Amino acid sequence: MQKLSLPVGMALLLVLGSTAWALECPVPAKIDDAATAGKIQELLPADTDLDAPDALQTAVFNLKTAGIPEDLILDNLIAVYCAAINAQTGVSDDEKTQQVQAFSQSATEMVFGDVD
pLDDT tens across 91-107, in order? 999 999 999 999 999 99
CB 15 within 8 A of CB 78: yes
pTM of the model: 0.76
pLDDT tens across 30-68, in order? 888 899 988 998 888 766 678 887 889 999 999 999 999
Q: Which residue has the higher pLDDT, 20 or 59?
A: 59
Mean pLDDT of 13-41: 76
CB 14 within 8 A of CB 99: no
Ramachandran bin of 90, using left for φ above 0, alpha for ψ from -120 to 50, beta for the remaining angles? left
Ranges of each domain in the chain: 33-112
